[in-house]
Amino acid sequence: MEQLLSEQVKKSRTPARLDFYQSATGLILGLFMWAHMLLVSSILLGNESMYWVAKSLEASFLSKDPTHGYPILVTFAVLGVFFLFIVHAGLAVRKFPSSWKQHRVFRSHMKMMKHKDTNIWYTQVVTGFIMFFFGSVHLYIMMTHPDKIGPYASSDRFVSDWMWPLYLILLLAVEAHGTIGLYRLAVKWGWFDGKNPVSNRKKLKFLKNLLAIFFIVLGLFTFAAYVKIGIEHRDKQGERYIPSSLTSQAKPEALINYQS
């Protein structure tokens, strides 16, 4: 009898553990996406700025040739993000409506209640569904082509490889999903409730909207910059960017690789 009760208690803790893991992976991915957006937006400061960001991620500072990095490090980093992405999606899908009938019932209740937090949860469900497919494509490309990250290579991917529709949809979905997710995490775990939870949650919602607007606008400007470079560089697809200040320091084979 005691053993049976013990097993029931252990089983009852499983949903709480899964919720914790979902929250933890969501928090890590949300913060990562904000950092990722800030890094890719370095293109707004010029080609050379984006080049240095890309090479720093490849740990080129450990190489004698400043144009040479270690793209395998990017592969491992993306693989780690991909793993968290799949785990988070698997944990989150438990709470999605599992059938069209459940979805229809939920939608009717949502319209009837007109509860704002319920509405943004539904937005999170829809954007999460979009991200699972579009985000997987993007992560796989980055994982398998880590050496093709740079002002020209990334811009060629936008325009010449026709990835811009995917990136545009992914930008809107990620920023909406991420800001909503971090807001809901703060509300769920009461991180900023303080002595006046109602007032503080209103402030959190305002901050959520502000951050969403900021990152979407930043993302659209960044998107436009890559498209512009991609259009201008269309006739030289495959050529890699290398700062003129490093041309004399690069090994001959490195320059061949960058120009082929």
Averaged over successive runs of 10 residues, the pLDDT of the chain (260 residues) comes to 55 80 93 95 95 92 81 96 95 78 71 72 89 95 93 94 95 93 85 76 88 95 97 89 70 48
Residue-wise burial string across 99-133, b where 16 or more C-beta atoms lie within 10 A, e elsewhere: eeeeeeebeeeeeeeeeeeeebbeebbebbbbbbe
Helix (H, G, I), strand (E, B) or coil at 115: coil
What integer pLDDT is reported at residue 2 of this predicted model? Answer: 54
Residue-wise burial string across 202-235, b where 16 or more C-beta atoms lie within 10 A, e elsewhere: eebbeebeebbeebbebbeebbebbbebbeebee
What integer pLDDT is reported at residue 91 of this predicted model? Answer: 92
What integer pLDDT is reported at residue 90 of this predicted model? Answer: 92
Instruction: Identify whether the C-beta of residue 242 lies closer than 8 Å to the C-beta of residue 255.
Output: yes
- Write the CB contacts of 121 (distance below 8 Å, at least 6 apart in sequence): 180, 184
What integer pLDDT is reported at residue 5 of this predicted model? Answer: 53
What integer pLDDT is reported at residue 213 of this predicted model? Answer: 94
What integer pLDDT is reported at residue 257 of this predicted model? Answer: 47
Check whether domain 19-258 has CATH 1.20.1300.10, yes or no:
yes
